[in-house]
Amino acid sequence: MAKIAVLGYGVVGSGTVEVFYKNKESLEKKAGQELDIKYILDVRDFDDSPYKEKFTKDFNVILNDPEVTVVAEVIGGLKPSYDFVKSSLMAGKSVVTSNKELVAAKGAEFLAIAKEKNVNFFFEASVGGGIPIIKPLHACLSANEIDEIAGILNGTTNFILTKMIRDGMDFEKALKIAQELGYAERNPSADVDGHDACRKICILASLAFGKHVYPESVHTEGITKITLEDVEYCDSSDCKIKLIGCAKREDQGKISIGVFPAVIRDESQLAGVNDVFNAILVRGDATGDVVFYGKGAGKLPTASAVVSDIVSAVKHANTSKSLTWADSAQDFIKDFGDFRCASYIRLTAKNVEVTKAVIKALFGEVTYLSRKNQPENELAFITGVMSENETVKAAEKVSDGAEILGRIRVLDY
């Protein structure tokens, strides 16, 4: 019999307990032994819960109980999760977590402790909600050198962008619905400013390239500057705007990595990913492109990944060797100024013909876009591929009464 403790009874924690008891019988067959949740840790009272006798407010009760061999941390954030996870691993308990902030910040440290203590540290639920991606990346695709990863990694922003594209809904209203549906982080800035997607691409890049990538080293932009006008220009030229996290193997052992809204052509496998769905494209040197798709947020999809990790941790007790990466200085991350891509640019001009000549001089040949009810003095165009530094420099030189209203990178996946 394996005894489990669930830390946190919020959206994911309550989903974890629900999925666990709903499928307990089949989980036990898969784990090869009886399973039970012995404790649920939460600071709140749940007197009406059918599991009320399992609740504790004292983490030390769990830590000091030798019967508990697997701890599921689903509290989120760094405090107190960091201390709970670290002390659980140090005490020889396996830990599974959905906490991307914690894994992105402390993954290398926890993986090293897990290895030393011969226990597991699993985090399938930290990226892509219910989509299996961590295990496929480190196990099923292990024959490959991973050349590139690009993903729609945040359900909330994808939900908001979908509402803007399909319904012309404004940003605030779409965010409110996402929050009501339980997709959004406690602080919506983590979603809309790109930090959540950043943590997830850090975890994937660390796994794919073998060295810890810290969120502070990643150029990160959110979706708050995207307007309905941008959405219309892109839609009328068969493109969609998506928040993309991407990481790519570069020369001399370096990688490029970033999170930003991107214009994607409709033919791309990522362009048709809508609502709360996530998709992660992995480009392996043997497989070519493999795309993982599914619900990237929400109670039960995320709980699915947590519970699967619990079963794996029970089934493969005393192993954690295949899932690993090294801690590192961040000198293998290429300067984002060298990142190369085309750009969509929207601007207002005092004199359209003069500004078109300026654009040609600064950006070379560009492709102009149009939209319904386009104001006479507004231009939107797509440049050729340039480095980030070159694009920023050229944009700064736009003059003669023209003002840039927005720029979105164009990616080719």
Is 297 a binder of ligand HSE (CB under 6 A)?
yes
Is 75 a binder of ligand HSE (CB under 6 A)?
no
Is 191 a binder of ligand HSE (CB under 6 A)?
yes
Is 296 a binder of ligand HSE (CB under 6 A)?
yes
Show contacts with ligand HSE in window 319-338 (CB under 6 A): none
Is 13 a binder of ligand HSE (CB under 6 A)?
no
- Return d(Cα 185, Cα 179) in angstroms, integer: 8
Asked whether 358 and 395 are in contact (CB, 8 A), the reply is no
Secondary structure tally for the chain: helices H, strands E: 14, 17
Helix (H, G, I), strand (E, B) or coil at 256: strand
- Return d(Cα 270, Cα 45) in angstroms, integer: 43
Is 196 a binder of ligand HSE (CB under 6 A)?
yes
- Return d(Cα 248, Cα 234) in angstroms, integer: 25
Asked whether 22 and 87 are in contact (CB, 8 A), the reply is no
* Annotation says 372 is catalytic: no
Is 155 a binder of ligand HSE (CB under 6 A)?
yes
Dihedral class, residue 253 (left if φ above 0, else alpha if ψ from -120 to 50, else beta): left
Q: Which two tokens stand for residue 223?
A: 């979706």
State the catalytic residue, choosing from 200, 240, 248, 295: 200
Show contacts with ligand HSE in window 129-148 (CB under 6 A): 129
Could you tell me the end-to-end alpha-carbon distance of the chain, in angstroms, rounded to an integer? Answer: 47
Is 294 a binder of ligand HSE (CB under 6 A)?
no
Helix (H) or strand (E) holding 158: helix 155-167
CB neighbourhood size of 229 (10 A):
17
CB of 196 to ligand HSE, least distance (A): 5
Is 154 a binder of ligand HSE (CB under 6 A)?
yes
Question: Which residue, 76 or 258, has its beta carbon nearer to ligand HSE?
Answer: 76
Question: Which residue, 179 or 328, has its beta carbon nearer to ligand HSE?
Answer: 179
CB of 194 to ligand HSE, least distance (A): 11
- Return d(Cα 72, Cα 314) in angstroms, integer: 12
Is 381 a binder of ligand HSE (CB under 6 A)?
no
Map residues 171-190 to x or -, x wherever contact with ligand HSE holds by CB under 6 A. ------------xxx-----
Question: Which residue, 8 or 284, has its beta carbon nearer to ligand HSE?
Answer: 8
**Considering only 48-56, 152-160, 236-244, 265-273, which stretch makes contact with ligand HSE by CB under 6 A?**
152-160
Is 261 a binder of ligand HSE (CB under 6 A)?
no
- Return d(Cα 36, Cα 24) in angstroms, integer: 8
Q: Which residues are catalytic?
A: 200
